[in-house]
Amino acid sequence: MAVRPWSLIASAAPVILATALAVADGTVHWPSLPLLLICAALIQISSNLINDLEDAKRGADAKRVGPLRAVSSGLITARSMRNVSMMVIAAAYVIGQPLVFRAGWEILLIGVVCLIAAWAYTGGPFPLAYHGLGDAAAFVFFGLIAVVGTYYVHACVWSADSFILALGPGFLAANILAVNNIRDIPTDAEVGKRTLAVRIGSKSARRLYVALMLAAIIVPSYFLSQHRGPWLWLPAVALPYGLFLSHMVLTRNGAELNKALAGTAMFYVLYMVLMAVALVTSYSVTSYSVT
């Protein structure tokens, strides 16, 4: 319950998408893929555990509408949660060392920054989630850093296309968090958790969700298709589902948004599959035509 396994798509998707880009570019390093997936999952798990712990300390889960939290419900003690969080962080650091050996100090820096951010999201003197920066953190760490960093491990070079590709998972990771925060506006505001949704209001937060949903589908496909071909528009197949979810977010409240939250996670999976297929297929078509 504390690990929240359903949410781990947010960490796996950018790794898979960056790997698909590396396949398309002929730079993939397959032995690194399992380590990348494990480290990404461990970093997110540590963030989930710390989030559970810190929200309980601040009373943010006292009147929670969403799924039960382990510490606030008394299922796990705060001390146990803290100890396990540190063990997960240590495991991520150790397992990530072969990636550092392959790609250099840049990956070590990225890994350390991600682990610090996992704690700083809801912990420390300036918790990002409590100051309206959670959505930006989701975009940066589950989008830009995850995709660009993963591609760098494969290719050992920086890629402008990996930056463009990162926009999709970044926007969608922010949207998963956004639905959660829109649902929790009343309880978050009551305990002083000033999420972006609390700061800009329910109506603006819902409109931002729609904008990010459309941007995730359109922006990466538009720019990547310019030199990788029309296959990069394949994610647009998911547009009707994205509009359906947008309607749910615009019209539902409270616990009713739990379905929209699960749907947004499912949309993320669909997007990941379609974009990965688009990248690999574009590579295959290009290779065939050149041959």
- Which tokens hold the place of 251? 């019209």
Q: Which pLDDT score is estimated for 125?
A: 87
Per-residue burial over 158-169, b if 16 or more Cβ lie within 10 Å, else e, is ebebbbbbbbbb
- Cα–Cα separations (whole angstroms), residue 76 to 58, 67, 116, 126, 235: 16, 15, 23, 25, 41
Can you give the pLDDT at residue 290? Answer: 43
**Residues in the chain, how many?**
291
Question: Which domains, ranges and CATH numbers included, belong to the chain?
Answer: 5-284 (1.10.600)
- Structure tokens, 14: 């950018």
Tell me the CA end-to-end span of the chain in Å, nearest whole number.
51
Per DSSP, the residues of 199-238 read HH-HHHHHHHHHHHHHHHHHHHHHHHHHHH-GGGGGGGGG
The reported pLDDT for the residue numbered 289 is 45
Query: Would you write out the chain's pLDDT as a tens digit for each of its 291 residues?
Result: 889 888 888 899 999 999 999 999 999 999 999 999 999 999 999 999 998 898 888 776 556 566 778 888 889 999 999 999 999 999 999 999 999 999 999 999 999 999 999 899 988 889 998 999 999 999 999 999 999 999 999 999 999 999 999 999 999 999 999 999 999 999 888 888 899 999 999 999 999 999 999 999 999 999 999 999 999 999 999 999 999 999 999 999 998 999 999 999 999 999 999 999 999 998 666 654 443
Q: Residue 161: phi, psi to the nearest 5?
A: -65, -35
pTM of the model: 0.91
Measured distance CA(268)–CA(288) in Å, rounded: 30
Which residues, in sequence order, are CB contacts of 72 under 8 Å at separation 6+? Answer: 52, 55, 56, 61, 62, 64
